[in-house]
Amino acid sequence: MKALILVADGVEDLEFFYPYYRLLEEGVDVDVASPDGEEILGKHAYDFEPDLSFADVNADDYDLLVLPGGKGPEIVRLEPEAIAITKKMFEADKTLASICHGVQVLISADVIRGKRVTCWPALRDDAKAAGADYVDEEVVVDGNLITSRCPDDLPAFCREIFAAIRQPVGSSETT
């Protein structure tokens, strides 16, 4: 199992570090990518040295994509490589997990049309305009897409991530 997290300056620190360390704790191989592969500074001034740049990512190498929120997604969504990664992983039926403002990347990648999603409330109208069925719930799973609203939802968000990666999308097993 291999996960990819896309980040940029201004990422919500909790929404990045909480899933990052939980994935590592569970033995998942995690790569973190930023626009240029250079150090990023989170919204609350925590810094992190990514493993690679968006341009160096091969989406085929990953099973899970995590899109944390904060102000970082405003930068991530403007990077063509990040949008291509998101689309390719979505179309390959790999798990995409987005929290808070991470939905901005999903909107720019045009992957939420017809999907049931949640996100930070201020982005509700953006999600609806992108063709999503917005609901105000702590976590929403629709096929290979997992979405949450805010840092308070992180336990539910990670619970659904682990449920998804333990049972591949389309599996007939029940949990």
Distance from C-alpha of 28 to C-alpha of 70, rounded to nearest angstrom: 24
Check pLDDT > 90 for residue 167: no
Task: For residues 135-161, give the mean pLDDT.
Answer: 98
pLDDT of 173 above 70: no
- What pLDDT, on a 0 to 100 scale, did the predictor assign at position 166? 87
Q: What percent of the chain has pLDDT over 70?
A: 95
Q: How far is CA 159 from CA 76, 88, 153, in A?
A: 25, 24, 10
To the nearest whole number, what is the mean pLDDT of the chain? Answer: 95
Residues 10-60: pLDDT tens digits? 999 999 999 999 999 999 999 999 999 999 999 999 999 999 999 999 999
Q: Tell me the pTM.
A: 0.94
Mean pLDDT of 89-111: 98
Task: Using the predicted structure, report yes or no on whether residue 112 has a pLDDT greater than 70.
Answer: yes
Confidence of residue 175 (pLDDT cuts 50, 70, 90): very low
Rounded Cα gap, residues 139 and 123, in angstroms: 15
Residue 44 is among the residues annotated as catalytic for this protein: no
The per-residue pLDDT for 130 is 98
Q: What average pLDDT does range 62-66 have in this prediction?
A: 98
Phi, psi of 134 (to 5 degrees): -75, 135
Could you give all domains of the chain from N- to C-terminal order, each with its CATH number? Answer: 2-166 (3.40.50.880)
Q: Is the pLDDT of residue 172 over 90?
A: no
CB-based contacts of 155, cutoff 8 Å, min separation 6: none
pLDDT at 120 over 60: yes
Over 60: is that where the pLDDT of 1 sits? yes
What does the block give as tokens for 149? Answer: 């609203």
CA separation, residue 89 to residues 10, 117, 138 (Å): 24, 17, 24
66: confidence class by pLDDT, cuts 50, 70, 90: very high
Which of these is catalytic: 77, 101, 124, 149? Answer: 101
